[in-house]
């Protein structure tokens, strides 16, 4: 038994399941109706080269659809060059393109925009590692904040409250994080 298009009664090749107001809605469309009315890509256009997919992804997630006219005075890199190659030209590009790079970095690094780094566990116990101990504390705070976000997302509010309290204590008491 073939399913007909909801709009034109041709054989349906696109089948959509949507949730609207808490109810499941099934829709069946032919390729033409899916492309015209719904803006869906027909199967023939589904084989896009990977570099085009990546470029479209960067465009979509940065909110940029046009080339930026900003150019680094040190290396000559433009935002369009970065979008094309995926590489920055020099260390100054981070400051020049900060507004456009920040959303990309946040998505790639779980909303983090500053490098925290990794510190070996044994380094924080060394008697002369005061700076490393501070870095370890920051790494532990970052870990606790990530766990808090996951607990809230999974609606585990009891765990979230405990993590929130641990974070507050760690921010006020320098020795609090080490045992967490």
- Are 118 and 101 spatial neighbours (Cβ–Cβ below 8 Å)? no
**To the nearest 10°, the Cα dihedral for 18, 61, 118, 134?**
-100
Q: What is the pLDDT of residue 39?
A: 60
**To the nearest 10°, the Cα dihedral for 110, 113, 116, 117?**
80
Q: Taking Cα atoms as reference points, which of 163, 121, 166, 160 lies closest to residue 139?
A: 121
pLDDT digits (tens, 9 = 90+) for 149-169: 998 888 889 999 999 999 888
Q: What is the pLDDT of residue 119?
A: 61
Q: What is the pLDDT of residue 180?
A: 44
pLDDT digits (tens, 9 = 90+) for 31-54: 888 777 666 655 555 566 777 777
Q: What is the pLDDT of residue 162?
A: 93
Q: What is the pLDDT of residue 46?
A: 53
Encoded tokens for 71 = 């150019």
Average pLDDT over residues 12-18: 84
Alpha-carbon distance of 11 to 63, in angstroms, equals 37
For the entire predicted model, the pTM comes to 0.30
Q: What is the pLDDT of residue 52?
A: 73
């Amino acid at each position: 038994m073939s399913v007909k298009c909801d709009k034109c009664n041709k054989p349906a090749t696109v089948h959509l399941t949507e949730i609207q107001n808490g109810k499941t809605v099934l829709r069946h469309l032919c390729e033409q109706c899916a492309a015209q009315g719904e803006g869906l890509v027909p199967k023939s256009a589904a084989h896009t080269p990977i570099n085009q997919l990546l470029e479209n992804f960067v465009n979509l997630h940065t909110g940029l659809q046009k080339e930026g006219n900003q150019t680094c005075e040190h290396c000559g890199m433009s935002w369009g060059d970065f979008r094309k190659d995926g590489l920055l030209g020099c260390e100054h590009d981070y400051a020049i393109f900060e507004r456009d790079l920040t959303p990309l970095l946040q998505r790639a690094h779980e909303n983090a925009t500053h490098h925290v780094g990794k510190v070996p566990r044994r380094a924080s116990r060394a008697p002369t590692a005061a700076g490393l101990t501070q870095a370890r504390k920051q790494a532990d705070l970052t870990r606790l904040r990530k766990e808090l976000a996951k607990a809230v997302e999974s609606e585990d509010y009891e765990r979230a409250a405990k993590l929130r309290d641990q974070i507050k204590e760690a921010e006020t008491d320098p020795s609090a994080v080490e045992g967490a």
